[in-house]
Amino acid sequence: MFVGFDYGSANCAIGVIDGDDVRLVPLSGDSKYMSSTLYAMDRELIAEAVLKQLPQAEQAEYTRIRAAQLSRGAAARRDLDLLPNEQAVFVGEQAIEAYLDMPDEGFYVRSPKSFLGATGLRDSQIALFEDIVTLMMMHIKKQAESQLEQGKSTITHAVIGRPVNFQGIGGEESNQQAEAILSLAAKRAGFIEVDFLFEPLAAGMDYEASLDENVTVLVVDVGGGTTDCSMVKMGPNHIDNRDRSADFLGHSGQRIGGNDLDIALSMASFMPHLGLGSLMVNKLPVPSKPFWNAVAVNDISAQRDFSALGSKKLIEDLIKDAQHPELIQRLLKVQKEQLGYKIVRSAEQSKIALSDANSVDTPLDYIHSGLHAKVSDSDFETAITMPLSKVEALMREALEQSGVTPDRIYVTGGTARSPAIYKRIAGLFPEIPIVVGDHFGSVTAGLTRWAQRVFA
């Protein structure tokens, strides 16, 4: 059985063909989307969780290449006093619940896709991300299969979405590294064959199914971790072509998305309550780097630096020399209890709330009793000026590559729900009609339609 598989930065989804339409399969209770998150009581237990779900024939080879991780995992299980079969790794909503319950006791990763293709990764880090993606794919595949024909269907083939560029730097080498991780993870998860399709093209294909005329469309897909733009010829004369390469006139993409907006909002609206922008006794500003490292949840080196002993020592030294040490004490709590993800999650919730309100009062009492931050829509627009400028640049790049002006702009992706983002996109080309797609489901639907052409 074939599916479209959106392994997204914020959410994951699986689509199947149902008659002439695409149907998204429930993955988390009644929800068709699963949060792209993982929590482990210890990071060394992730390899053990993968091993337990591998087919018997593949376990010996996996045990050989992950011998060190499995040995450390066994020691971690003993140290944590866990029973042999006690669950220690969680994905999706269970991962979020476990992190919120024990933020400083385990290993939490949000949007692992955002790390794929990162430069300078050690072999051990690549192995870790292979295992994280594998475990998530195993879970998603199992959940989807349990929903299909009362668990009697086995998913064997998939078209997986991928951004135009996984990272802003690294070029095609980064893309190849990321795609290799996804391919290997899919194979270990039980997929016999996978193909890849650019996510903005997938989103555009879903829109194309509704067209009754030929048009040139600029697809703007603003996702959780990446923004991708594609200029595509669409319509009745193109939709049935197996090879669409001649219809794709220009592409651009960069690792800039909803995660970056949440981080920017955290820095602008929350971190001043922790001392950002305050002064030292020598009248110099408090260094901003530890504040940035605290919330840069999609940056491996920043997260590693912030959790290190050196960061704790730096913050303690700042407290001694700050004009407002009581504020820096809050940052120290964030460092000790590893609350960075929680802060960014609060920013994400504020961003979502601002889609329907002019302002929102966000509780931050997990940092300090009674602490809260009021955020207005104008505050949000100011905070995200730099990330949105990058989105604009990507749109212009796709236009320049293609050398044509689109008849329409098709906007999709979960992050594009924000009125601030829509206003910025609409203001860039006010004379071109904008069509707003299914913010979450359009990519999955397009991947599923392409899977039907590739594998049916």
DSSP character string of 408-442: EEEEESGGGGSHHHHHHHHHHSTTS-EEE--TTTH
- Are 35 and 106 part of one and the same domain? yes
* Structure tokens that stand for 434 in this block: 């904008």
Percent of the chain with pLDDT over 70: 98
- Statement: residue 350 has pLDDT above 80: yes
- Are 96 and 138 part of one and the same domain? yes
The neighbour count for residue 230, using CB atoms within 10 Å, is: 28
For the segment 40-76, what is each residue's pLDDT rounded down to a tens digit? 999 999 999 999 999 999 999 999 999 999 999 999 9
- Statement: residue 128 has pLDDT above 80: yes
- Are 32 and 165 part of one and the same domain? yes
Strand bridging mode 359-363 / 372-376: antiparallel
Listed range (185-194, 262-271, 291-300) with the worst mean pLDDT: 291-300
- Statement: residue 169 has pLDDT above 60: no
* Structure tokens that stand for 408 in this block: 């329409």
Coil, strand or helix: which one is 251?
strand
Radius of gyration of the chain (CA): 23
**How many structural domains are present in the chain?**
3
Q: How far apart are CA 99 and CA 109, in angstroms?
A: 9
- Are 222 and 266 part of one and the same domain? no
- Statement: residue 420 has pLDDT above 70: yes
Q: Do 220 and 392 contact (CB within 8 A), yes or no? A: no
- Are 84 and 151 part of one and the same domain? yes
- Are 94 and 233 part of one and the same domain? no
Residue 355 lies in a domain: yes
Side chain identity, residue 325? P
Distance of CA 444 to the CA centre of its chain: 15
Side chain identity, residue 136? M
Q: Among candidates 159, 243, 198, which has minimal Cα distance to 398?
A: 198
Residue 443 lies in a domain: no
Percent of the chain with pLDDT over 90: 60
- Statement: residue 415 has pLDDT above 80: no
Q: How far apart are CA 130 and CA 127, in angstroms?
A: 5
pLDDT at res. 77: 94
For the segment 12-40, what is each residue's pLDDT rounded down to a tens digit? 999 999 888 899 999 988 899 999 999 99
Coil, strand or helix: which one is 365?
coil
- Angle (nearest 5°) at CA 7 between 89 and 300: 65
- Are 272 and 244 part of one and the same domain? no
pLDDT at res. 227: 86
- Are 156 and 146 part of one and the same domain? yes
- Are 149 and 237 part of one and the same domain? no
Q: State which of 167-171, 254-258, 345-349, 433-437 shows the largest mean pLDDT.
A: 345-349
Residue 448 lies in a domain: no
When pLDDT is averaged across residues 254-267 and rounded to a whole number, the result is: 89
Q: State which of 81-90, 114-123, 199-208, 328-337 shows the largest mean pLDDT.
A: 328-337
CATH number at residue 16: 3.30.420.40
Instruction: Answer with the residue of higher pLDDT: 103 or 317.
Output: 317
When pLDDT is averaged across residues 79-95 and rounded to a whole number, the result is: 92
* Rounded-to-5 percentages of helix, strand, coil across the chain: 50, 20, 30
Report the first-to-last Cα separation within the chain, whole angstroms: 9
Residue 268 lies in a domain: yes
Distance of CA 365 to the CA centre of its chain: 26
| Locus of tokens 């695409």 | 22
- Statement: residue 141 has pLDDT above 90: yes
At residue 207 the predicted structure's pLDDT band, cuts being 50, 70 and 90, is: confident
- Are 43 and 171 part of one and the same domain? yes
Q: Among candidates 184, 199, 201, 197, which has minimal Cα distance to 137?
A: 184
Q: Among candidates 277, 332, 339, 343, which has minimal Cα distance to 309?
A: 332
Mean pLDDT of the chain: 90
Residue 450 lies in a domain: no
Instruction: Answer with the residue of higher pLDDT: 168 or 138.
Output: 138
Residue 381 lies in a domain: no
Distance of CA 33 to the CA centre of its chain: 13
Residue 132 lies in a domain: yes
- Are 355 and 412 part of one and the same domain? no
When pLDDT is averaged across residues 130-154 and rounded to a whole number, the result is: 90
When pLDDT is averaged across residues 229-251 and rounded to a whole number, the result is: 86
Q: Among candidates 306, 205, 224, which has minimal Cα distance to 10?
A: 224
* Structure tokens that stand for 77 in this block: 């299980």
At residue 439 the predicted structure's pLDDT band, cuts being 50, 70 and 90, is: low
At residue 170 the predicted structure's pLDDT band, cuts being 50, 70 and 90, is: low
Full residue range of the structural domain in which residue 204 is found: 200-258+386-435
At residue 332 the predicted structure's pLDDT band, cuts being 50, 70 and 90, is: very high
- Are 209 and 277 part of one and the same domain? no
Q: 161, 191, 221: which is the final residue of a domain? A: 191
Residue 227 lies in a domain: yes
β partners of residue 193? 157
- Statement: residue 437 has pLDDT above 80: no
| Three-class secondary structure assignment of 279-337 | EECCCCECCCHHHHHHHCCCCHHHHHHHHCHHHHHHHHHHHHHECCHHHHHHHHHHHHH
Coil, strand or helix: which one is 277?
coil
pLDDT at res. 151: 67
